[in-house]
Amino acid sequence: MDKILIEGGNRLVGEVTVSGAKNAVLPLMAASLLVDGWTTITNVPSLRDIDTFKVLLRHLGCEIESDGPGTMRIRTRDVPVPEAPYDMVKTMRASVLVLGPLVSRFKKARVSLPGGCAIGARPIDLHLMGLKKMGAEVSIEHGYVTVTAEKLKGAKIYMDTTTVTGTENLMLAAVHAEGTTVLENAALEPEVVCLADALNRMGAVIKGAGTDTIRIEGVRALKPVEVRVIPDRIEAGTFMVASAMTRGNVLLKDCPLHHLESLSVKLREAGAEIAEEAGGVRVIGDWPIRSVDIKTIPYPGFPTDMQAQIMAMMTVAGGLSVITETVFENRFMHVGELKRMGADITVDGRCAVVRGVKHLSGAPLMATDLRASASLILAGLVAEGRTEVSRIYHLDRGYERIEEKLKRLGAKIERVKS
Ligand code: UD1
């Protein structure tokens, strides 16, 4: 298994291009199940989660071609076995995104129920509640959920928790339903808007994506289109924090700053300079870093997917920071590892109190989940001495060649086989 070795202490300086967003590609791939023709997706990053989704789509019977780097073409003529097996769902929860389109177009889906994961219980009850409201029959047996519907019907669906993939799944299901579906308390994330825009270009009639009420008028058939994936706000945010915390000066190209307002406010409060210029977004870090309090909430609030990275930054800030995680109940797995580097963090339920220390010291560390892995790498960039991060398969799920990008910015970092 690969490891990442980092020799801390270098400022990051230079330019980096933000890749396409993983969390936008996956629902677009699921959307291709709705069309009887080639869907072309461009600006696709090379990531393990996307490879896993490809395996799942091929398992379902889809044809997938790649037209050079960053472009993927998918065609779904028929789905002989509409089933997402345990092995695939357990490696990537977003596999449940096939549920909506499969029921909608092929009348049946059998998907392994995702269990809890490293960051929380993460049920899919709201996905299932919505499908039931649309007239589907839902049964759970042997760890699998089977959903059937001769024809889904439009419905008013209120989700009592904001769920990103839940909103996407129901939107995908509602596109072919009979009549109008209204999703209330829908997720506002840019990836939801990216999916709605793509579906509308395919011929769907979706209004209100990006607000908490989405209206979908069912249509008979969609046509294949080419869609470009939006840039990854979480990858961009990770590089913004990396520049800020290393006293760096980094120009981020293709940076979706308009999707990163909550992070930008906090980074500026912490002392970083963020400026838009012709070629992209420049982030200049300054020391001492000022401590800031953070509370994760659904978009446009501070993203839970940036919580671990900002915590790494706060471990070397000049005061006390309170970080509250409201989206997932167990998303502080990185704390134990950061403490092994000398960070001073106390966790009480959903709150972490971080007292900034003068320096972190490099240590052997274990990545526990995707964003936690990124936070350990950021900590390693400012730590004294050598940090060794293992179990980096988590990192490869969502960051495209992060060590190469950091290296080009001046970090002493390498991937080694162990
Ligand atoms: C998506 C993102 C993930 C991000 C998360 C929150 C993708 C592929 N993944 O995950 O990177 O961290 O949004 O921004 O886009 N919940 C329920 N019942 C449900 C569904 C969700 O109670 O049926 C709860 C979850 O347990 C969690 C909260 O709702 O506490 C938000 O989860 P959700 O938005 O669904 O996360 P994902 O869509 O899985």
User: What is the pLDDT, as a whole number, of residue 155?
Assistant: 97
* The model scores a pTM over 0.75: yes
Spacing, Cα 69 to ligand 1 middle (Å): 29
Contact 165, 147 (CB under 8 A): no
For helices 164-174 and 190-202, the axis angle rounded to 10 degrees is 10
Collapsing DSSP states into helix, strand and coil, what is residue 263? helix
164 lines ligand 1 (CB under 6 A): yes
Mean pLDDT split into 10-residue runs, the chain, 418 residues = 94 98 98 96 95 95 90 95 90 93 96 73 89 96 94 97 97 97 98 98 98 97 96 98 98 97 98 96 96 98 98 97 94 96 97 97 93 96 97 91 97 92
131 lines ligand 1 (CB under 6 A): no
For residues 87-114, one letter each, b for 16 or more C-beta atoms within 10 angstroms of the residue's C-beta and e for the rest, the string is ebbeebebbbbbbbbbbbbbebbbbbeb
How many whole angstroms separate alpha carbon 96 and alpha carbon 257?
A: 29
Contact 38, 180 (CB under 8 A): no
User: What is the pLDDT, as a whole number, of residue 122?
Assistant: 76
Contact 171, 196 (CB under 8 A): yes
Spell out the alpha helix ranges (H) of 139-297.
Answer: 164-174, 190-202, 233-245, 261-269
User: What is the pLDDT, as a whole number, of residue 117?
Assistant: 62
Q: Radius of gyration (Cα) for the chain, nearest Å?
A: 21
- Residue 297 burial by CB count (10 A; 0-12/13-18/19+): exposed, middle or buried? middle
With CA atoms as reference, report the closest residue to 94 among 402, 375, 300, 370: 370
305 lines ligand 1 (CB under 6 A): yes
How many whole angstroms separate alpha carbon 45 and alpha carbon 64?
A: 15
CA angle, 299 as apex, 295 and 301 as ends, to 5°?
30
The one catalytic residue among 117, 194, 255, 351: 117
97 lines ligand 1 (CB under 6 A): no
User: What is the pLDDT, as a whole number, of residue 39?
Assistant: 97
With CA atoms as reference, report the closest residue to 128 among 120, 118, 139: 139
Atom of ligand 1 nearest to the CA of 398: 11
User: What is the pLDDT, as a whole number, of residue 101?
Assistant: 97
Domains of the chain, earliest start first: 2-19+231-417 (3.65.10.10), 22-228 (3.65.10.10)
How many whole angstroms separate alpha carbon 69 and alpha carbon 61?
A: 23
Say how far residue 56 (Cα) sits from the centre of its chain: 18
- Protein residue with least CA distance to atom 20, ligand 1: 124
Residue 404 phi, psi dihedral angles, 5° rounding = -70, -40
How many whole angstroms separate alpha carbon 106 and alpha carbon 34?
A: 9
C-alpha distances (whole Å) from 383 to each of 136, 244, 363, 380, 390 are 53, 15, 9, 5, 17
- Protein residue with least CA distance to atom 35, ligand 1: 163
Instruction: Please give the DSSP secondary-structure letter assigned to residue 121.
Output: -
Concerning whether 117 is annotated as a catalytic residue, the answer is yes
